[in-house]
Amino acid sequence: MVELQINTTQNVNINFIAASIGERMLAYVIDIVIKIAYVLGFGYIVFDVFKFDDVFNDLDGWSQQAVYVIFMLPVLFYTLTLESIFEGQTLGKRIMKIKVVKIDGYQASFPDYLIRWSLRAIDMIMFGVVGLITIVSSKKSQRLGDMSAGTSVISLKSNVNISHTILEELDDSYQPTYPNVIKLSDNDARIIKETYVRAKAAKDYETLIKLRKKIIQVVEIKEFNDTDIEFIDTILKDYNYYTQGM
């Protein structure tokens, strides 16, 4: 199991678990099955149902080759197209709950998917042995295409979620209460979040009171009417509100 640490644009380190070789191989097999199903299904509809084979046989050699190329385009561009549409996932990756991400914390873009796709042929040399070797030997479980694109494939089954970082989900209509939270640093907010989550889960009200007093002292808040839990929760949300665009 390989753990990846991604630094977000808010300088927050988020730990992810890299997708295992087994997960990636199963996703690949599922995608292969889908491609085969397309070829068989579409071929049956076109040639058997609509009797295109009669027209096809009357075409010259170059025209027949052109038909084959057009017919196989969805198979050829399957991975590139779906990863671009579904933000790093093919149907196989979706089923296996794995995803392509940038290792610098940004969302992978079309050029990144294009680089991965264009180098797939090299990774698949010797029935994928080259890709397997690079994934196993890489510290971030990257095949050659990932190394070139600066991406990796992570598992979405890991327990890492937004509550493990200083990130908070905010509604578009959210209105902050304490503008002085900008006095806090990312490290301050992270410590507050971690302490808050632990104390709240353990119903450690004494720690919550101490934490609230420390926040008031640092942020220089004179008045508040919330409970300790509501107050700290608001502080974290306000911090995210004021820093998310920075």
Q: What is the pLDDT of residues 50-69, one digit of tens each?
A: 677 777 777 787 888 888 89
Residue 73 to residue 85: CA distance in whole angstroms: 17
Nearest to 104 by CA among 76, 146, 166: 146
- Is there a contact between 54 and 190 (Cβ–Cβ < 8 Å)? no
Percent of the chain with pLDDT over 70: 86
Mean pLDDT of 96-101: 91
**What does the pLDDT read at residue 105?**
59
For residue 14 the two structure tokens come to: 């988020």
Residue 131 to residue 121: CA distance in whole angstroms: 10
Confidence of residue 159 (pLDDT cuts 50, 70, 90): very low
**What does the pLDDT read at residue 160?**
46
Confidence of residue 110 (pLDDT cuts 50, 70, 90): very high
**What does the pLDDT read at residue 158?**
54
- Main-chain phi, psi angles of 184, to 5 degrees: -80, 150
Mean pLDDT of 147-160: 80
Nearest to 142 by CA among 21, 238, 12: 21
Residue 171 to residue 164: CA distance in whole angstroms: 19
**Per-residue pLDDT at 96 exceeds 50:** yes
Q: Which of 5-9, 52-56, 70-74 has the lowest mean pLDDT?
A: 5-9
Percent of the chain with pLDDT over 90: 32
Q: Is 46 exposed, middle or buried (0-12, 13-18, 19+ CB in 10 A)?
A: middle
**Per-residue pLDDT at 121 exceeds 70:** yes
**What does the pLDDT read at residue 76?**
94
Q: Given phi > 0 = left and psi -120 to 50 = alpha, else beta, which region is 45? A: alpha
Confidence of residue 15 (pLDDT cuts 50, 70, 90): low
Q: What is the pLDDT of residues 163-204, one digit of tens each?
A: 455 666 677 788 888 888 888 887 788 888 888 888 888 888
Nearest to 42 by CA among 85, 72, 6, 82: 72
**What does the pLDDT read at residue 145?**
93
**What does the pLDDT read at residue 4?**
66
